[in-house]
Structure 1
Amino acid sequence: MPILRALLIALGLLTRFPLPTLQPTATENEYGRSVLAYPLVGALIGLLLTLAAILLLPWIPKLILASALLILWVWCSGALHLDGLADSADAWVGGMGDRQRTLQLMKDPHCGSSAVVTLVLLLLLKWSSLLTLLDSPHLPLFWLSPFLGRSALLLLLLTTPYVRPEGMGASAARSLPHKSGWLLLLSLTLLCCLLAWPLALLAITSLLLLFVLFRQALLKRLSGTTGDTAGALCELSETITLLALTLAP
């Protein structure tokens, strides 16, 4: 399968960029291989945001710029992962420890108080971290946040069963080439460390700690992952990476 087609499928799924839509014609095997392009999608979003931040910083007040960057960030994914976070929050609280009830609530299109509070707190944390990062010498490494957030999706699908038998997520999980995925993750980790040492190591370590705790919770409650919990992981991974960059000396 051509690399460009895999990237276009991943971009069509994870972003709102005006590109040709290949999802209707994609096969299950193509969905699986497109997961390998998720980190690249994150890198493209990260580079766009970082470039916008650096170019606009001299011209726009930091408070407004932080808000504009957050809006652009949300637009890039069409709030796809935020929707997964909201559904996961409602289901996790409303499910009261029951697996089937939790899975059922994730399909409910209505937004409860747990979802609203979770979204507000996460976006507030992202906004305040962005505002701090605009005053930091680490601003050029902003791209690591979207990049590692989507790399976490690849890691999740490589290590965690997908609990729903239907949907694009299930197709991607079944057909994901594991050997290529692990080689890609290892290569990307080494590349990140080379490009952004030592902050990349701090960000990756923070992300791995979050991933272990998140995955344990998923296995305990659901015995695996869903598309919604994958979206939640992406948002949490972006945030923990952004915090690591912000709080680094």
Structure 2
Amino acid sequence: MKGLILAIQFLTRLPMPRVTANDTDFAASMRWFPAAGLAVGLFVSGAAWLGAHIDPWTGALAGLAMWTLITGGLHLDGLADLADAGGAAHKDRERLLAVLADPHVGSFGVVAIALQIVAKLILLHGMVMAGLFPALILIPFAARIGPLVWTLWLPPLHAGLAARFRDAIRPVHIALWGAILIAGAWVSPALLLAFLMIPIWAWHVRRRLGGISGDGHGAGIELMETGLLAAILAANAY
């Protein structure tokens, strides 16, 4: 239970009881990231459902506002950092890594955040119009299985957050959450595309960066969420 509390504290702004934890406890909390994603999904879907009683756009805006509020924009920071680093990639890998380590947000990062927010708003509108609230609950859950896989498969880019989690993840943890996702895919089979998106992102960051970092995890989560929103909407249209 300590691991679940720590995971929710780290990934969300939800009020949780205070627990005493060391670095080992914190690293082990990564096993519970998908459960924290499920909490995010419940709040996002609930807000969108309530807003939809006014009109679909209000539902979409309520869902997006809740998504940003409950996560504190944590993963958007990683998306912005990778976008800025990618903009510097035409020079050399050393420049890319230097930009990635810079805490300031550049023009590429601002554009990436804006596009991500607009994309989620439009896709959420489609989800609300189609009444796909149960599937919406599972999207943040599915996206947060990714960090477990990336941590296990990819070398840490530096001695940071991703490196601390590496020793805490075992294949059995991924298998258990994967089985739950398969069982939940009866809501929308398109959720199973998460099993394709996860290795694609792993391949991309390995090729471009050489390993995984906290920014890589955050950007991957954001892009998986948007990708799953689009995939579920597309599947529902046919």
TM-score (norm 1): 0.87
* Cα separation, 2, equivalents of 1:65 and 1:56: 4
CA distance in 2, matches of 1:216, 1:134: 33
Q: 1:78-157 alignment to 2 at 5 Å?
A: 78-96=72-90, 98-157=92-151
- 1:65/1:190 Cα in 2 relative to 1: closer, same or farther (>3 Å)? closer
Please state how far the C-alpha of 1:46 moved relative to its aligned partner: 0.4
Residue 184 (1) aligns with residue 176 (2): yes
- How many residues in Structure 1 have an aligned counterpart in Structure 2? 236
Secondary structure at the aligned position of 2:130 is classed as coil
Pairing partner for 2:13 from 10, 13, 16: 16
1:64 aligns with 2:61: no
Q: How big is each residue's C-alpha offset from its partner over 1:106-139, in whole Å with a ceiling of 9 and x where there is no partner?
A: 1212211111111111111110011111110423
* Higher RCO (CA < 8 A, seq sep 6+): 1
**Given that residues 203 and 241 in structure 1 are in contact (C-alpha distance below 8 angstroms), is that contact kept between their aligned partners in structure 2?**
yes
How far 1:101 sits from its partner (Å)?
2.2
Name the CA distance, whole Å, in 2 between partners of 1:5 and 1:210. 30
The one-letter amino acid paired with 1:171 is: R
Q: Give the aligned residue type for 2:163.
A: A
Identity %: 31
Tell me how far apart the structure 1 counterparts of residues 191 and 161 of structure 2 sit (CA, whole Å). 29
Taking the aligned partners of 1:130 and 1:136, their CA distance within structure 2 comes to 10
Deviations 1:135-176 (A, max 9, x none): 1042321112111111112222122111212x3332112x22
Instruction: Verify: 1:215 aligned to 2:202, yes or no.
Output: yes
**Cα distance per residue 1:30-57 (max 9 Å; x no partner):** 2232111000000111012212222342
Task: Output the TM-score relative to the length of structure 2.
Answer: 0.91
- Please name the residue that 1:5 is paired with: 2
For residues 137 and 64 of structure 1, what CA distance do their matches in structure 2 show? 14
Decide which of 220, 225, 239 is 2:212's aligned counterpart: 225
Q: Is the 8 A contact 2:79 2:109 kept in 1?
A: yes
> 2:201, 2:216 → 1: CA distance?
9
Task: Determine the structure 1 residue equivalent to 2:191.
Answer: 203
Mapped to 2, the partners of 1:51 and 1:168 lie a distance apart of 31
Q: Which runs of 5+ in 2 are unaligned?
A: none
The answer to whether 1:27 aligns with 2:22 is yes
1:92 offset after TM fit, Å?
1.6
Decide whether the 8 Å contact of 1:204 with 1:241 is kept in 2. Answer: no
Alpha-carbon distance in structure 2 between the residues aligned to 1:247 and 1:218: 26
- Unaligned stretches of 5+ residues in structure 1: none
CA drift of 1:83 comes to 0.5
Please say if residues 87 and 106 of structure 1, whose CA atoms lie closer than 8 Å, have aligned partners that are also in contact: yes
1:190 shift after superposition: 2.8
Q: 1:169 corresponds to which residue?
A: 162
In structure 1, what is the equivalent of residue 234 of structure 2?
A: 247
- Secondary structure in 1 aligned to 2:152? helix
Task: Tell me, in whole angstroms, the C-alpha distance in 2 between the residues paired with 1:208 and 1:186.
Answer: 8
List per-residue Cα deviations over 1:74-98 (Å, max 9, x = no partner). 1111101000100111012113363
> What RMSD, in angstroms, separates the aligned Cα atoms of the two structures?
1.9
Q: CA deviation at 1:191?
A: 2.2
